[in-house]
Structure 1
Amino acid sequence: MRRTLIAVALLGWTAAGAHAQPLPGVDTKGLVADEIGALSALMKEGACPCNPRLSLFECIEKKSCPQATELAAFGADRFRDGDGIEQVREAVVRKYLDEHVTFTFELGDTPSKGAKDGRIQIVEFADFECPHCALMRPVLEEVVKAYPKDVTVYFKQFPLQHHMFADLAARATLAAHRQGRFWPMHDLIFTNQGKLSAEKFVEFATELGLNVEKFKADLEDPALAKQIQRDRQEAIDAQLTGTPTLYINGKLYTEDKSPEAIKAYVQKAIGKLEAKK
């Protein structure tokens, strides 16, 4: 199966020096052979938005998809602006993701906070022993606080296998969710990230005033493991390779993960929605 441009972005673009096949309809004046070769190679890796059975390159050759030609022209323009191969790769992939790739997730039973059915949906995949995931917690809180009527944050589980307590932590939060206390458990676990143990999760349940016996029973419920596995598969299907990863209205978020950058992205997304009214 053809790799997506997302995979190319994550694996690195090694096409420099590739055969400089022409890109019909794309102005490559001023580009050297390595640049044309790299751009044409990248176009062979992505699915054409007009016909996913074809590559971008094939659609460009057939002159059958203006969006594909526009993407290649964008890359050529970036080369003429003086960007290097890596910079052009990142810019082209980002444009491709933003304009042509949207992911969908099962959200019906997914813990959420913020606006009810907000027009901006942020889906976070995280691991409870991941240090960067712990840092994302206050960032998303700030985003929700800034857009209380617009933003809904959904938390999906992606426990990493090399983290000893990540899976149990995921089950603990979902068990707490059954008693309406997902977010307090979520916060306690991240706050005590370096002190986790099987006993600690029971202590947290007691501290939160949960029915501890029900909590313990729910921890072993196969339905929770099934939900976690579903979340993991959704993440894999959505090209996730690390945690935390955010998707905003179905788009893989590739910008800086600072609160300022995310809020700016959200504001831009709101502007696009307003413009469609």
Structure 2
Amino acid sequence: MTRRIAAFIALTLTLFAGVAAAQSLITRYVAGDHYQVIDNPVAQPEDGKIQVVEFFLYSCPHCYHLEPELKDWRKTLGDDVEFSRVPVLFGAGGQVYARLYYAAEQLGVLDKVHEDIFTAIHEQGRRLLSEDDIRDFMEDHGVDGDRFAEAFDSDAVSDKVRAAGETMRAFRVTATPSLGVAGQYYLSGRSAGSNEKMFDVADYLIAQQRAANAD
């Protein structure tokens, strides 16, 4: 009898511990502390996917160092998550780097040059702040200089830079790197506890949104 009681007590304690751990997991991230709920939600994709936005700056050393981990984390996102980037417009060269990003995207070479831009700035000492320097960089990567210059100065790129500014204001972006999730939440390394912990908080918010979508 004593053994049965002891076993029952042990099982009960184990169940309580499991419930407590689950509750701790569910409530471990708090709005206002680990992330912010933005005032006016940003419209999400019509296909119902959960949008995750990285706010970054090419000259930001933290963005540069986080890029490999960000790349790995993106591979873990489900098919119901849509990832995109928004180059911020503040800081040294923000406008120039944003135009570089969107020009590369327009030319279809963004995936090819994105990491190399970080490398050029942070390892090779190429600041890429003038159009001539950027053109040289792009030509080094096999892009026609005239085509790049046309894209860099195009109205289409200007429109995307303006849209980037609107998205920044909507999320009230204050730092890089930082993330926007589901058009409703904004988090930075400072709020999450570190740049690396942003991914845990984002995963939590994605799960919350996924559950809400299923209701």
Specify the TM-score bucket, using the shorter chain as the normaliser: 0.5 to 0.7
Q: List runs of 5+ in structure 1 lacking aligned partners.
A: 1-89, 109-116
Between the aligned partners of 1:91 and 1:148, the Cα distance in structure 2 is 23
Q: Which amino acid aligns with 1:127?
A: L
**CA shift for structure 1 position 191:** 1.4
Residue 260 of structure 1, CA deviation: 5.5
Q: CA deviation at 1:271?
A: 5.9
Query: Aligned residue for 1:171?
Result: 99
Map residues 194-233 of structure 1 onto 2, 5 A cutoff: 194-197=125-128, 198=130, 199-233=132-166
In the alignment, does 2:60 pair up with 1:130?
A: yes
Aligned to 1:180: 108
Q: CA deviation at 1:123?
A: 0.7
Distance across 2 between alignment mates of 1:96 and 1:195 = 35
| One-letter identity of the residue aligned with 2:186 | L
Q: Is the counterpart of residue 119 in structure 1 residue 49 in structure 2?
A: yes
Contact kept, 8 Å, 2:50 with 2:182, in 1: the verdict is: yes
Q: Return the match for 1:192 from 113, 116, 120.
A: 120
Structure-to-structure mapping, 1:68-107, within 5 angstroms:
93-94=32-33, 97-98=36-37, 101=39, 103-104=41-42
Fraction of identical pairs, as percent: 21
Give the structure 2 partner of residue 71 of structure 1.
none
CA deviations on 1:206-225 (whole Å, 9 max, x unpaired) are 23332321111111224323
Aligned residue for 1:143, secondary structure, equals helix
Are the equivalent residues in 1 in contact too, given 2:56–2:63 (CA < 8 A)? yes
Inter-CA distance 143–263: structure 2 relative to 1 (3 Å threshold): farther
Q: Is the Cα–Cα contact under 8 Å of residues 87 and 97 in structure 2 kept in the other structure?
A: no
AA in 2 matched with 1:195: R
Q: Name the counterpart of 1:64.
A: none
AA of the residue aligned to 1:140: L
Which residue among 146, 158, 171 is the counterpart of 1:238? 171
Q: Per the alignment, in what secondary structure is the counterpart of residue 75 of structure 2?
A: helix
Deviation at 1:173, TM superposition (A): 1.9
Listed one character per residue, the Cα deviations across residues 8-61 of structure 1 (whole Å, up to 9, x for unaligned) are xxxxxxxxxxxxxxxxxxxxxxxxxxxxxxxxxxxxxxxxxxxxxxxxxxxxxx
Which residue in 2 is equivalent to 1:266?
A: 203
Kept in 2, the 8 Å contact 1:123–1:248? The answer is yes
CA distance 1:91–1:212, shift in 2 (3 Å): same
What runs of 5+ residues in structure 2 fail to find an aligned partner?
1-28
CA distance in structure 1 between the partners assigned to 2:158 and 2:33 by the alignment: 34
Q: State the alpha-carbon separation in 1 of the partners of residues 142 and 78 from structure 2.
A: 27
Aligned length: 177
Query: Does the CA-based 8 Å contact 1:158-1:231 persist in structure 2?
Result: yes
CA-atom RMSD, angstroms? 3.3
Deviations 1:150-170 (A, max 9, x none): 43321112132x51x432222
Change (3 A) 1:103 1:137: farther
TM-score, length-normalised on structure 2?
Answer: 0.66
SS in 2 for 1:93: coil
Give, in whole Å, the separation in 2 of the partners of 1:95 and 1:257: 10
Cα distance in 1 for partners of 2:89, 2:210 equals: 34
Q: Match for 1:180: what amino acid?
A: G
